[in-house]
Amino acid sequence: MVFSSLVFIFLFLTGTLLIYYLVPKKLKNTVILLSGLIFYTWGEPVYVVVMILSTLIDYFAGLIIWKFGENRHIRRTCLIVSIVMNLTLLGMFKYSGFVVENINTIAGQQVLNIKELYFLGIKVLPLNMLPIGISFFTFQSMSYTIDMYRGEIEVQKNPINFAAFVTLFSQLVAGPIVRYSDISKELNDRVINIDLVYEGIVRFITGLGKKVLIANSVGQVWDTVLAHVTAGTPVSAATAWIGIIGYTLQIYFDFSGYSDMAIGLGKMMGFTFPENFNYPYLSKSVAEFWRRWHITLGAWFRSYVYIPLGGNRKGLGRTVLNLAIVWLLTGIWHGANWTFIIWGVMYGVLIIIERLFFGKVLEKLPGWIGWLYTMFFVVIGWVLFASPNIGTAFTYMGNMFGASGVLADSETLYLMLNYGVVLILGIFASTDAWKIIVSHTEKRFPNFVHWAMPVCKLGVFALCVAYIADATYNPFLYFNF
């Protein structure tokens, strides 16, 4: 069940919030737990067992760490068991097929002749559908155990409250990655008022507009061009660039729109989730881009991988190694495909180069040069990220740089005539220009903005509903991770 569906908006969300607001405070977490299980089971009637198992592992791990607070050996053993079991779940369901396939490829023969593989009675291989959001909820749940071991949070003894933390449907399957410390106080006692609910509704509509009106539209540009490339049909350089610009906008508005909706839903229920995006396409270095893109994932790796490895405290050589490890893991986290691994390594190399010397060079250059450099590699990275395999990715890049021998063709004209307006709108909306315009207008005409904004939001919501009702194209990219 995706947020940008009529079933979610008018059936699930409306019904859940109605019950949530009516029940007494002590039952609200129970409503969160039950609604989260229903939400997940709607799309994953079998794999919900994986989420429940991950929740149980970390709940009991937290209790044991708290119970044996003075016994360092037991606490450390419990932490290791929790991490190993969570990563085993993630590895079995997300990477086992990839590992088997590559072992057989390297060996040149079928060394591992595994036709089917089951885990707790659930088929792992061949796996037709990855458990939705497994990378998100395992990282989120596991962070609780790690923070408990570090002594940074208080134990959650109430199993319903802890399960509500994991199954909170607003950020369950695609983030932001909310750590227990982010909402621990609100889990036990939170305030819900009309102002917070209104803020949540406005934020939800903003995200819905990003997803439905922009991401879904520009996404069709990428799908059209990629289909030609995967079919072996050369495309002109201009067509290839238009296609990947479409994907560059699609993934931003798709994922940031979902994050906006999740943050808005959290506010409606009394929670404040961390921000996940901050206009990443305005960045003037690759390092800055990753401080602005998927912020909660970067924070997770920084807190639980980079800093424990030593961060930048053990010399330049160790810093480079730590960055390399983090970015290799970042690529692997995104998917079981060599395209993701190369994508992660590419960013790791760029960030290491910036750390060594190029970052200082960029600071001295005009900002537009840094922006062009950053966006060039971001766009190249999205080709790797979005392609089904390495061969297709490099074929697509070849087309971008003239391998077809054609600069532009009739397909270029067709795409610009049909999608040019929404591409321009997407480019404009990916900057903070709209925010600046609204801010200046509000200073000069505060009453106008005060009354106009709700009307605009209602208009956006109406357009989204109309689009969803009539559309057949409504993917959500990060459900794959």
Active site residues: 334
Q: b/e map of 362-389 (b: 16 or more CB within 10 Å)? A: beeeeeeebbebbbeebbbbbbbbbbee
Cα gap 239→406, rounded to integer Å: 10
Cβ partners under 8 Å of residue 84, min gap 6: none
DSSP states along 380-431: HHHHHHHSSSHHHHHHHHHHHTTTTS-S--HHHHHHHHHHHHHHHHHHHHTS
Strand residue runs (E) in 175-258: none
Check if the beta carbon of residue 109 is closer than 8 Å to that of residue 23: no
Extract the tokens encoding 297: 């994932």
Nearest to 387 by CA among 282, 244, 263, 250: 244
Check if the beta carbon of residue 137 is closer than 8 Å to that of residue 173: yes
Q: How far is CA 413 from the centre of its chain?
A: 33
State whether residue 312 is helix, strand or coil.
Answer: coil
The one-character DSSP state at 62 is H
Extract the tokens encoding 247: 């994907």
Helix H or strand E segment including 367: helix 367-386
